[in-house]
Amino acid sequence: MPFGAFALAKIFRLPPEIAVGLVLTAAAPEAMSSGVISYIAKADVAYSVSLTTVSTLLCPLATPALVYLLAGRVIQFDFWVMVFDLLKMVIIPLFAGFGIRYLFKNTIEKIIDVFPAISVTFIIFICSLVIALNKNYLVMITALVFAADLTLNVWGMLAGYWVGSIFKMDVRKKRTLSIEVGMQNAGLGTVLALKYFGEKAAIPAAAFVFICIFTASVMAEIWSRQPLQQSDKP
C-alpha cells in the first residue's frame, strides 16, 4: 500500500503535502473495523484479527520508517517522536485489551455472542465521529485527491485478493486479505498527518476513512450473499 501510494502520488502529480498524506494513510496499520467487515463478508475472522494485530504491533516502527523512506525527502519530521506517539496511541491500548480478555476470560466467554452487534454499532459511531471531526478537511477534497484515494483503496483490495490466489488460499482467506489490505486505519493517519505535516496532509487520510468503509461494506454485502463451497466453510 505505501509503495502504491507513492506511485499514485507521482502519477496524479499531487502537491507535496497531499502526497505525504497519501503515503502516511497507506503506511498506517489495518483498520480495526476490518474484523467486523470480515465477519459480515463471511471471511476468516480469526485470520483478520491476526493480521490486524500483527500490523498494529509493527506500526510504531513500520509506519514512521515507510513514511521516512518514501516521503522523508519531501517533508522532514521527527522519526522517534512519531515512534513514541504510536506506542502511546496504539500499543498500550492494545495490550490493555489483551489484559482485560485474560483477566476476565470466563465472564467474557458468556457474553461473546453479543460482541459482533456491539462492534458494528461502535464502528459506525467511530467512523461517523472521525468524519465529523474532519469535516473542515473533507470540504477541501478535490476530484484529484478523491480519485487517488479511491484508486489506492481499490488497488489494495485487488492486490490482497491476488496475493491470496498466488498462495492458493481458500476463498475466506482471500476475502480477508482483500479487506485487510484495502482498509487502513485512516483515522490514525489523520491524527498523525495533522500533528506532523499539517492540515493539507490530513485531507487524503480524512477522505480515505469513508472511502474504505464504503467499498469494503459493498464488497462484504456482495460476498455475504455468495454461498461458500463446502471446502471453504469453517
Report the share of the chain in percent with pLDDT over 90. 40
> How far is Cα 36 from Cα 217, in angstroms, rounded to an integer?
10
pLDDT number for residue 99: 87
Is pLDDT above 90 for 191?
A: no
> Of 7-16, 37-46, 104-113, which gets the smallest average pLDDT?
104-113
Tell whether 143 is covered by a domain.
yes
Tell me how many domains the chain contains. 1
What's the pLDDT tens digit per position in 149-172?
999 999 999 999 999 999 999 999
Tell whether 55 is covered by a domain.
yes
Tell whether 95 is covered by a domain.
yes
Average pLDDT, stretch 16-27? 92
Domain membership of residue 110 as a residue range: 2-227
Is pLDDT above 60 for 95?
A: yes
Is pLDDT above 90 for 133?
A: no
Tell whether 166 is covered by a domain.
yes
Tell whether 71 is covered by a domain.
yes
pLDDT number for residue 120: 65
The CATH number for 192's domain is 1.20.1530.20
pLDDT number for residue 128: 67
Tell whether 232 is covered by a domain.
no
Q: Mean pLDDT of all residues in the chain?
A: 85
Average pLDDT, stretch 132-147? 76
pLDDT number for residue 20: 93
The pTM is what? 0.82
Tell whether 234 is covered by a domain.
no
Tell whether 233 is covered by a domain.
no
Of the pLDDT bands very low, low, confident and very high (cuts 50, 70, 90), residue 142 is confident
> How far is Cα 80 from Cα 61, in angstroms, rounded to an integer?
9
Of the pLDDT bands very low, low, confident and very high (cuts 50, 70, 90), residue 126 is low
> How far is Cα 229 from Cα 212, in angstroms, rounded to an integer?
27
List 184's β-bridge partners, or say none. Answer: 30
Is pLDDT above 90 for 207?
A: no
